[in-house]
Amino acid sequence: MKRIGMLTSGGDCQALNAAMRGLVKTLANQTSDLEIFGFLEGYRGLIYGDYRMLTSDDFAGILTQGGTILGSSRVPFKTIKDPDEKGLDKIESMKLHYKKLKLDCLVVLGGNGSHKTANLLRQEGLNIVTLPKTIDNDLWGTDMTFGFQTAVEIATTAIDHIHTTAASHGRVFIVEVMGHKVGWLTLNAGIAGGADIILVPEIPYDVKNVVDAIEQRRKNGKKFTILAVAEGAISKEDSKLSKKELKEKKKVNPYPSVSYEVADQIQKATGAEMRVTVPGHTQRGGSPCPYDRVLASRLGSEAAALILQGEYGFMVGIQNREIVKVPIEEVAGKLKVVSPDASIVKEAKMLGICFGD
């Protein structure tokens, strides 16, 4: 008998359902002696004992379905050791529910913050296996997270759609792309969508360089310019500030996000007619693309294989096209960022894309 708990934690993404389906299908193909407990809304379900017993039927027909059948929530790691408003010890409570249900293993589908909590639970003696989900692709230990490729497609489509209208009106457009503190999504969607300027958090920009690139395009007869700007993009000036100083500065910053600030600066310097488009959470929604369906199915299936062998404490990821197991303690707390020296950045620059650096 295998008793498996499962939860989806943090911001949702495409192919969460595909990954769970891959896991359960593989387990069910190997053993009929199986009980699956789905905790609802991420770690919250584990803390408060909110779960559903699931059967194979629950996983039928969900390969293509976006979101997560279990629901998700953000339970911040930085307050995980603090008691809740009623004084409940969250970690003890999670351990209690795991033990009460006599689980053999807890499967966590999560991103960065969720891996920190998963690692803590592992240190507390629980058997944990994790799967890397996030549209940001910022998890250490895996070349790719599921959700990422679908989000790249959505952000690229947004840039594609902006292209025609930008060209008609001769405007300068900013498409703001998600990605939290990293630029993978913006970089890939920017290249795929033919953006002229790409701003990512890992390469702080000087707005003068951005303005110069726009002026140069104008001189070359290009009436419009498209910028793909990461939501976490940062100016050279701001990148020199301490965390505290930056926080103080943000408090009095009148702009809703970095794109509006850059748009204002460009407008003042060039007189260009500016527009900002923020696809926002559309990047996390809808059906997973085929790549993500395949990746999530493979990862889910290999996670099941680990569980059947009684191997715990690993994230199942992909490196050089092979599925690998990476110790959770190596993943937790580490960001996979875009290196300014990465060949993809070099190639983008050779294509003539300006990074504002």
Active-site positions read 136
Handedness of CA 206, 211, 214, 219 (dihedral sign): negative
Per CB under 6 A, does 197 bind ligand F6P? no
First to last CA, the chain: 58
177, 186 in Cβ contact below 8 A?
yes
Among positions 141, 179, 313, 317, the unique one binding ligand F6P when judged by CB under 6 A:
179
Among positions 47, 108, 158, 178, the unique one binding ligand F6P when judged by CB under 6 A:
178
Neighbouring residues of 234: CB distance < 8 A, sequence distance ≥ 6:
201, 204, 205, 258
Using CB atoms within 10 Å of the CB of residue 351, give its burial: 0 to 12 exposed, 13 to 18 middle, 19+ buried. Answer: exposed
Paired tokens of 60? 């039928």
Neighbouring residues of 196: CB distance < 8 A, sequence distance ≥ 6:
213, 217, 222, 225, 226, 227, 352, 353, 354
Q: Which of 21/180 has CB closer to ligand F6P? A: 180
Question: Whole-number minimum distance, CB 267 to ligand F6P, in Å?
Answer: 26
Among positions 111, 204, 288, 300, the unique one binding ligand F6P when judged by CB under 6 A:
111
Question: Whole-number minimum distance, CB 134 to ligand F6P, in Å?
Answer: 5
Per CB under 6 A, does 136 bind ligand F6P? yes
| Interface segment toward ligand F6P; rule CB under 6 A; list 21-29, 131-139, 159-167, 325-333 | 131-139
How far is the C-alpha of 209 from the C-alpha of 2, rounded, in Å? Answer: 59
How far is the C-alpha of 306 from the C-alpha of 302, rounded, in Å? Answer: 6
Q: Which of 26/149 has CB closer to ligand F6P? A: 149
Question: Whole-number minimum distance, CB 90 to ligand F6P, in Å?
Answer: 19
Q: How many residues bind ligand F6P (CB under 6 A)?
A: 11
Q: Which of 38/113 has CB closer to ligand F6P? A: 113
Using CB atoms within 10 Å of the CB of residue 148, give its burial: 0 to 12 exposed, 13 to 18 middle, 19+ buried. Answer: buried
64, 288 in Cβ contact below 8 A?
yes
Contact flags string 54-93 toward ligand F6P, x per CB under 6 A: --------------------x-------------------
Per CB under 6 A, does 116 bind ligand F6P? no
How far is the C-alpha of 107 from the C-alpha of 303, rounded, in Å? Answer: 8
Q: Which of 122/284 has CB closer to ligand F6P? A: 284
Per CB under 6 A, does 11 bind ligand F6P? yes
Residues 214-233 touching ligand F6P, rule: CB under 6 A, are 231
Per CB under 6 A, does 135 bind ligand F6P? yes
| Interface segment toward ligand F6P; rule CB under 6 A; list 87-95, 175-183, 311-319, 320-328 | 175-183
Q: Which of 111/201 has CB closer to ligand F6P? A: 111
Q: What are phi and psi of 63, to 5 degrees?
A: -55, -40
Helix (H) or strand (E) holding 306: helix 290-308
Helix (H) or strand (E) holding 258: helix 258-270
Per CB under 6 A, does 292 bind ligand F6P? no
Query: Which residue of the chain is nearest ligand F6P when measured via CB?
Result: 178
Per CB under 6 A, does 284 bind ligand F6P? yes
Among positions 116, 180, 293, 298, the unique one binding ligand F6P when judged by CB under 6 A:
180
116, 79 in Cβ contact below 8 A?
no
Q: Which of 90/180 has CB closer to ligand F6P? A: 180
Question: Whole-number minimum distance, CB 179 to ligand F6P, in Å?
Answer: 5
142, 133 in Cβ contact below 8 A?
no
| Interface segment toward ligand F6P; rule CB under 6 A; list 27-35, 49-57, 128-136, 290-298 | 128-136
**What residues are paired with 54 via a beta bridge?**
36
- Contact residues toward ligand F6P (CB under 6 A) are 11, 74, 111, 134-136, 178-180, 231, 284
